Amino acid sequence: MKITCLYRITLNTALLVCLVNATDAQNTVGPPVETKAPNSAYKPAFAGQTRIGSVKTTTPYKTDKLAEKLSSPWAIVPMPDGRLLITLKGGSMEIRNADGSLAKAITGLPAVEARGQGGLLDVALDPEFAKNKIIYWSFSEKYDPGNLTAVAKGKLDESKGVVENPTVIFRATPALKSSLHFGSRLAFGKDGYLYVSTGERSNLDGRVLAPQLHAGQGKIFRITKEGKAAPGNPFEKKAGAMPEIYAYGFRNPQGLVFDPYTNELWETEFGPRGGDELNLIKPGKDYGWPEITYGIEYSGEAVGKGIQQKEGLEQPVYYWDPVISPSGICFYQGDAIPEWKGNLFISGLSSTQLTRLVIKDNKVVGEERLLEDKKERIRDVACYNQMLYVVTDSGTLYRISRQ
């Protein structure tokens, strides 16, 4: 792929403008989609790390509203038969037909602490779900002296509308007193293990634990279906470390997905004021929070020493300032909308839009904003059968497909 780049200097910043070979990206890359001033004067570590040029989808597509007034949906996962399994923060799930109609309500899960950002969070299907009907879910669990992110599993009995034998298999200890930053997303790897992201709980007690290997805050874990440390984890033989840890140093990672084409693991997380990140996850690596960040405190002060780069700490592949508040993510597969093939889609909360990123050789080379006209806080996005399914905080379910 040939990419030609130049800098265009304005009063506030240097904008990187690139022309991408049309065969690869289907688009000419223009000025960045972000036009607002950043929260800080921090400089990126490399060209293209932020405010990359814009792309525009040329293939006609349509957005259909399938359902509305869902009760605080958090995650949406396509089932093998094309129906959708949706979690509701209050502690239940719904199975929706492909047209958005309700097929079955699912109850009987362990109690969740549904306050603040807590509640029933993500859900993942067992790789053998078609045969065993086992599902896994994350939730905020009341746990003395506070609460924590927990993962449970059970067998989905659709006919009865319940999950049988629900069992908590993992807890991100220690418990803290907070209603924020639980994470959390679940993703099964081709290795058959479950990857789990957790937040650092948005208080100083949790923040200092993000880079600590003895604590469950601000981590990505790799566990077995029984909740044990997966063999070969990077810290399984390190004294005092949680053997389940795969990577660490995160703030509030609510996006986690494997690229179906490369099998690489990608993560998105919330920064403070500025500094939302897209990271390529490697085992044993420290992703820097709270030592390095491209964001600042909500008060306007620097986070820690106010540094953005440090030897031994991983740089984000891409970051946003101002923030987009990235939640769920997925990679588009197929050729129905050709320019979307292999692109990453990110649901945005405060930004009320769906971000499309064109990624080549693990670098972001184009960005587009979709669904801005809906003015909805987009909580999660799922890529399935060459379509996108989106749920919003207001309880709306959308489907995006080729026209």
Mean pLDDT, range 326-334, rounded to an integer:
98
Please report the pLDDT score of residue 4 as a whole number: 42
Q: How does pLDDT run across 8-42, given as a tens digit for each residue?
A: 433 333 344 444 443 344 556 899 999 999 999 99
Backbone angles phi, psi at 256, to 5 degrees: -155, 120
Q: Residues 6 or more apart from 86 whose CB is under 8 A from it?
A: 70, 73, 75, 76, 77, 93, 94, 95, 96, 391, 397
Mean pLDDT, range 329-342, rounded to an integer:
97
Could you give all domains of the chain from N- to C-terminal order, each with its CATH number?
68-402 (2.120.10.30)
Please report the pLDDT score of residue 153 as a whole number: 98
Kindly tell me if the per-residue pLDDT of 6 is higher than 60. Answer: no
Kindly tell me if the per-residue pLDDT of 359 is higher than 50. Answer: yes
Please report the pLDDT score of residue 29 as a whole number: 84
How far apart are alpha carbons 142 and 10 in whole angstroms?
Answer: 51
Percent of the chain residues topping a pLDDT of 70: 93
- The reply to whether omega before 260 is within 30° of 0 (cis) is no
Q: How does pLDDT run across 362-401, given as a tens digit for each residue?
A: 999 999 999 999 999 999 999 999 999 999 999 999 999 9
Please report the pLDDT score of residue 175 as a whole number: 97
- Catalytic annotation, residues: 181
User: Which pLDDT band holds residue 3 (cuts at 50, 70, 90)?
Assistant: very low
Please report the pLDDT score of residue 7 as a whole number: 38
Kindly tell me if the per-residue pLDDT of 234 is higher than 50. Answer: yes
Kindly tell me if the per-residue pLDDT of 239 is higher than 80. Answer: yes
Mean pLDDT, range 138-165, rounded to an integer:
97
Please report the pLDDT score of residue 1 as a whole number: 41
Please report the pLDDT score of residue 183 as a whole number: 97
Q: Residues 6 or more apart from 136 whose CB is under 8 A from it?
A: 123, 124, 125, 126, 151, 152, 153, 169, 186, 194, 225
User: Which pLDDT band holds residue 51 (cuts at 50, 70, 90)?
Assistant: very high
Please report the pLDDT score of residue 27 as a whole number: 58
